Amino acid sequence: MSSSIELRDVSQVFAVRGDEDRQLRDFVALQGVDLTVAPGELLALVGPSGCGKSTVLDLVAGLTRPTSGRVLVDGEEITGPGLDRSVVFQQYTLLPWRTATANVELALEATGRYTRAERRERAREHLELVGLTEFAHRYPHELSGGMKQRVAIARSLSYEPGVLLMDEPFGALDAQTRERLQEELVGIWERTGTTIVFITHDIEEAVFLGQRVAVMSSRPGRVKEVVDIDLDRSAAVESDIRSTPEFAAYRHHVWASLRQQPARRLEEVERVA
Ligand code: ADP
Ligand code: MG
């Protein structure tokens, strides 16, 4: 199952207190954001800290409403959170007194959709999907950070949402674990076909994961460019795709876009390489 997402001319204004006079004033977090995500697409949203990435995610998750503009999933305006959209956050969100399996089963129970036997089977399947079969009966304190995030991914996918929203989910992990999980996420995405919006401030992570990379600028937050990433990910693990000239060209392009500098044209970089 996979859904489309559309943001049309979305602005988000927060009331914040000024430093000196403590008066409330408007802070424009997002201004005129347009973005479309196709069903089954893996879109990476990259931008500096504070540019409004989480604000975009909160809108799509239905946790907040936009000040103006429209946010649509499958053509329908979002009115609140729903089981059609699931979120994985950076901070670990597992219940410490429940095993990995029991954490996934609890989410399934909350949907009210599945029998006890179905919950058990779905938890098993999805922990297998993230490679945690052997750790299914461990408690969170017995799992590494990377494993905890895999449980969170399994939990999010267990009730088959049309959209998986990920807000810097690997940001707290060490570099090697992060790369490993990036590779596994591509495999999970290919197997499930879920639409994924992956938020990160890491250019390399965005280029590795995204079929397209939406580049955000700050003050006010906007989507300034959407870059098509045409890399052969099926061979990603074997070929160390991050070391290829094509990957470097895309990374440079996104970097230049973020720095607001003219990029060497992608075609030129590819020709030289
Ligand atoms: P990012 O996720 O890209 O780091 P955020 O979306 O969290 O950025 O925040 C964008 C800007 O909006 C920041 O300057 C932040 O301080 C501000 N902001 C976010 N949420 C609120 C809020 N509820 N009230 C006031 N300001 C907010
Ligand atoms: Mg954020």
What's the pLDDT tens digit per position in 185-238?
A: 999 999 999 999 999 999 999 999 999 999 999 989 999 999 999 997 766 556
Decide if 165 contacts 197 (C-beta within 8 A).
yes
Query: Which residue, by CA, sits nearest to atom 27 of ligand 1?
Result: 14
- Nearest-Å Rg of the Cα atoms of the chain is 19
Determine the pLDDT at residue 19: 77
Ligand 1 centre and the CA of 67: distance in Å?
A: 14
Per-residue pLDDT, 265? 61
- Determine the average pLDDT of the residues in 42-69: 97
**CATH number for the domain that contains residue 240:** 3.40.50.300
pLDDT value of residue 1: 76
pLDDT for the residue 199: 98
CA of 27 to the centre of ligand 1 (A): 9
The total of structural domains in the chain comes to 1
Query: Does 118 map to a domain?
Result: no
Please give the number of the atom of ligand 1 that sits closest to the Cα of 48: 3
Tell me, in angstroms, the distance from the centre of ligand 2 to residue 235's CA: 31
End-to-end CA distance of the chain: 39
Q: For residue 168, report the distance from its CA to the centre of ligand 1, in Å.
A: 15
Atom index in ligand 1 nearest the CA of residue 58 equals 6
Spatial separation of the C-alpha atoms in residues 49 and 217, rounded to whole Å: 10
Type of residue at 159: Y
Which residue CA neighbors atom 19 of ligand 1 most closely? 55
Is position 55 within any domain? yes
Longest dimension (CA), the chain: 59
Mean pLDDT of 92-116: 95
- Share the mean pLDDT of the chain: 92
Task: Give residue 43's domain range.
Answer: 5-84+163-170+194-272
**Integer CA distances (angstroms), 16 to 65, 89, 121, 132, 196, in order:** 17, 24, 47, 43, 31
Within-domain flag for 146: no
Residue 27, in any domain of the structure: yes
Residue 256 lies in a domain: yes
Neighbours of 23 (CB within 10 A): 8
158: Cβ below 6 Å to ligand 1?
no
Q: How far is CA 148 from CA 101, 143, 214, 235, in A?
A: 12, 6, 27, 27
Confidence label for 105 from pLDDT (cuts 50, 70 and 90): very high
> In this structure, are strands 5-17 and 24-37 parallel, antiparallel, or unpaired?
antiparallel
Which of 19, 30, 53, 55 to mutate to test ligand 1, by most ligand atoms within 8 A of the CB atom? 55
Segments of 62-130 assigned E as strands: 68-73, 76-77, 85-88
- Residue holding tokens 């991914």? 153
Does residue 20 surpass a pLDDT of 90? no
DSSP letter assigned to residue 201: S
Q: Is residue 232 part of a domain?
A: yes
CA of 28, nearest ligand number: 1
Mean per-residue pLDDT for 81-94? Answer: 92
Phi-psi region of 69 (alpha: psi -120 to 50; beta: other; left: phi over 0): left
Residues with CB under 5 A from ligand 2 (ion): 53-54
**Whether pLDDT at 71 is above 80:** yes
pLDDT at 43 over 70: yes
38 domain-assigned: yes
The verdict on residue 68 lying in a domain is yes
What is the DSSP-derived secondary structure letter of residue 98?
Answer: S
Index of the ligand 1 atom closest to the CA of residue 199: 2
C-beta 52 within 6 A of ligand 1: yes
Phi, then psi, of 54 in degrees rounded to 5: -65, -30
pLDDT band at 251 (very low <50, low <70, confident <90, very high): very high
Place of tokens 């006010």: 220
Q: Is 14 in the pocket of ligand 1 (CB under 6 A)?
A: yes
Global pTM value: 0.92
The pick from 19, 27, 199, 215 for probing ligand 1's pocket by mutation, whose C-beta has the most ligand atoms within 8 angstroms, reads 27
